[in-house]
Structure 1
Amino acid sequence: MRGLCRVGNVEKAFEFFNSMESFGCLPDLITYNTLINGLCRVGNVDRAQMLLREIEKHPEFSPDVVTYTSIISGYCKSGRMEKAVTLFDEMIQRGIRPNLFTFNIVIDGFSKKGDSDSALMMYEKALNGGLKPDVVMFTSIIDSHCRTGDLDKSMKLWDEMNKRQVSPNVFTFSILIHALCKANRLNESRDLLRRLNLRKDIIPSPFIYNPVIDGFCKAGNLDEANSIVAEMEAKGCVHDKMTFTILILGHCMKGRTFEAIDIYKKMLSVGCAPDNITMSSLTSCLRKAGMASEANEIELSASKNMKSGLSSLEKTTHLMTNMNIPVAV
């Protein structure tokens, strides 16, 4: 039954459930919890709650924290927070103590609904109940405040997280860095990025670096942007298409066309194919700088590769050769 529920075949699991008694095997709480979890996985939470009511009538066992948490999770994932909170309160009234996982589910549900006040209220309930918040809880509440634009509260929670010696994970860093960049608080996002770089246990993805690089490029501080790129490389994080495009656009905006071309060549050398935005931005910049022949050469080489139907690697190699870029063979 557990195997069938895990692969989403809940109806087949119910066939086994219904035939148990004929084999002299009576279902227990684990059986019911398995089916409830399976129903919630496929989004049939109302039917899962019906099973909860069935357990309540059973003379030999009662629902436990696992039973309630599964259904609460199902309602949270479907955005039905009123139902989730009603069950949460019912659970407490029945003398069943919610655990950290239960609180994290409800807090995450409120966070995704943009209800930061309710998320914070649940956090305080967890503390009052003697639970120690973990990185998942802190990250969810920080995310909820970032979604509503209350970055100051997010940063206070960040400070509290550090005071409690709870280590942030890559998601905590990512959420805060993106939110700070969006609010044009570049120096703070830069500080967080420095702290992230010191963590030997985390190798960040390019999407964490990209908004900070983009922010400094748009602010005209290319030296700082290039410094972040160097840190990114030292950390073992490979640039993606967005990283290269941001850098090309940034250098073009400052009139540093030769550096933009060098970045474009590097993009090709690592097998990262530019898109239309990258190409049009670079060629437009080159023409404005009086480098029409270089722009035409890039466009012509790209056009030939598109028409030739070469593979991505062949297109990159061919384009590099046309631009007189050394190619390792």
Structure 2
Amino acid sequence: MALLARLRLQSFHLLLRRHHLNFSTSPLSSTSKTRVALSLLKTETNPEKILEICRSASLTPEANIDRIAFSVAIDKLAKSNNFSYIDEFLTELRTSRPDLRTEQFAAHSIVLFGKAGMIDHAIRLFKEYHEKNQNGVVLSSGPVKLLNSLLFSCILAKKYDEVKRVFVNFTKSYTIEPSLDTYNTVIQAFSEGGSSSSCYSVLNEMDKKGVKPNATTFGNLIAGFYKEEKFEDVGKVLKMMEEDYGINAGIDIYNIRIRSLCKLKRSKEAEALLGGCIARGVKPKAVTYRYLIFGFCKEGNLEGAKSLFKSMVNRGCIPDYYCYSTLIYFLSKGRDFESAYRICKESMEKKLVPNFPTMKMLVEGLASSGNVEKAKELIGEIKEKFSKNVDLWNEVEAGLPQ
């Protein structure tokens, strides 16, 4: 095993050399290896090399950045229909690495199978670990954790009917007592799958079992009813939440309602809801305004979006990257290049630079409208502050009117 690990590390370093990345001869930290792995995974298409990159980085689900790397790798393999490699890789990790023979990695593997649409494999793994538990290997939090992962796996695969089957059959067959997370996941599935009314029966079961719903429970349900445009049910759920369960609508509930209304192209109603939120003393977040700005822009109301952005800043809410990039993109698309330029300059001062396509659209738009100097100024600032895509920006600059 030690020899195999050394060979893999050497292979990893060879991959680094092949991709012209700098590294030290001293051992890389786990985080550094994962960052390099992520960089390699973004461009790699060969399934065998994708697996070797992951093996060499010695990924573990305990670290968030490693979970991201796992997700990227599985997603790339699934999109290229290399499902056998996914099964091979996850099975190999569970059997060859003692540190991954854990309930946590089993739960993570179940979710990854769902992400790849491999629900049959997720179910097989759940049953495998449950049988171990039956044979006396007691899992740290019981099989409910794996059940919750399996339910979520079905949601990722958009197998909403399978959620109901797994929930009903597995809780009985394996004598599993559902937790709050279990019920919340089932409600999320019904809501996303267009069967929000079925959630009332889930709430009734929760009451019988003495499991108290939380804001997440009602947030999922509200989102579902908005999606189905059942506005009376939205009001019913809000009243039930506050009067029957004593849960006040916080900013997370308001964000769900605002986002849902914007998706339905009812952004003016969402803006009115923001006013009610502020009047009740609930402080909006950057994401609140982001949903509204996106909604107004999608409906072609760029003046309204600009007004919201100004109101956001005046209220002391700091715009995030997505607020800036969304507004710059839609203003550029709507040929309001002066406003886009002004907001872009502000975002760049905060080192928040929209992606290359958005910036390219703005730069070329400025040049086409007679503001070549401003276009070149932006390119110069980008190349000075950020080394990424310098060659691409040189090409863009060369194509501008002289």
Question: Residue type of the partner of 2:355?
Answer: D
The corresponding residue for 2:214 is 99
* Cα distance, 1:198–1:152 mapped onto 2, change above 3 Å: closer
Q: What residue number does 1:31 align with?
A: 142
Letter in 2 for 1:98: P
C-alpha contact 1:216 1:222 (8 A) present in aligned 2: yes
- Counterpart-to-counterpart distance in 1, 2:326 and 2:137: 62
Answering whether residue 166 of structure 2 is matched by residue 51 of structure 1, we say no
What is the aligned partner in structure 2 of residue 5 from structure 1? 107
Residues 271 and 173 of structure 1: CA distance in aligned 2, closer, same or farther (over 3 Å): same
Equivalent residues of 1:174, 1:208 under 8 A apart: yes
Contact 1:249-1:282 within 8 A present in 2 as well:
no
Distance 1:124 1:187 in 2: 35
Q: Find out whether 1:125 has 2:240 as its counterpart.
A: yes
3-state SS in 2 of match to 1:238: coil
Aligned length: 278
How far residue 236 of structure 1 moved from its aligned partner, in angstroms, is 3.3
- Verify the 8 A CA contact 1:108 1:141 in the aligned structure 2: yes
Match of 1:259 in 2: 374
Q: How does 1:125-274 map to 2 (within 5 A)?
A: 125-129=240-244, 130-197=246-313, 204-205=320-321, 207-217=322-332, 222-269=337-384, 270-273=386-389
**Post-superposition offset of 1:248:** 1.6
**Alignment CA distance shift 1:223-1:201 (3 Å):** closer
Displacement of 1:189 after TM fit? Answer: 2.0
Instruction: Report the AA paired with residue 152 of structure 2.
Output: R
Partner of 1:17: 130
Distance 1:224 1:260 in 2: 13
Q: Relative to 1, partners in 2 of residues 1:240 and 1:18: Cα closer, same or farther, differing over 3 Å?
A: closer
Q: Residues of 1 paired with 2:328 and 2:365: CA distance?
A: 9
Higher relative contact order (CA 8 A, sep 6+): 1
**How many angstroms does 1:196 deviate by?**
4.4
Q: CA 1:125 to 1:217, structure 2 compared with 1: closer, same or farther past 3 Å?
A: same
Q: In the TM superposition, what is the alpha-carbon distance from 1:173 to its structure 2 partner?
A: 1.9
Q: Which amino acid aligns with 1:122?
A: V
Q: Distance in 2 between matches of 1:236 and 1:276?
A: 19
1:260: how far off?
2.5
| Of 39, 42, 63, the match for 2:153 | 42
2:185 maps to 70
Where does structure 2 lack aligned partners over 5 or more consecutive residues? Answer: 1-101, 111-121, 155-161
Structure with greater Cα Rg? 1
- CA-CA distance at 1:271 after TM superposition: 3.4
User: Please, what TM-score do these two structures have when normalized by structure 1?
Assistant: 0.66
1:115 aligned residue (229, 245, 253): 229
Moved more, 196-205 or 137-146: 196-205
Kept in 1, the 8 Å contact 2:171–2:177? The answer is no
1:49 partner amino acid: V
CA RMSD of aligned residues (A): 4.0
What is the percentage of aligned positions where both structures have the same residue? 19
| Displaced runs of 4 or more, over 6 A | 198-201, 274-282
Provide, for residues 177-232 of structure 1, a one-character-per-residue CA deviation record: whole Å limited to 9, x for no partner.
11112233334322332354468885611x42234335555666544333312321
Distance 1:260 1:20 in 2: 64
**Secondary structure, in 3 states, of the residue corresponding to 1:255?**
coil
TM-score using structure 2 length? 0.56
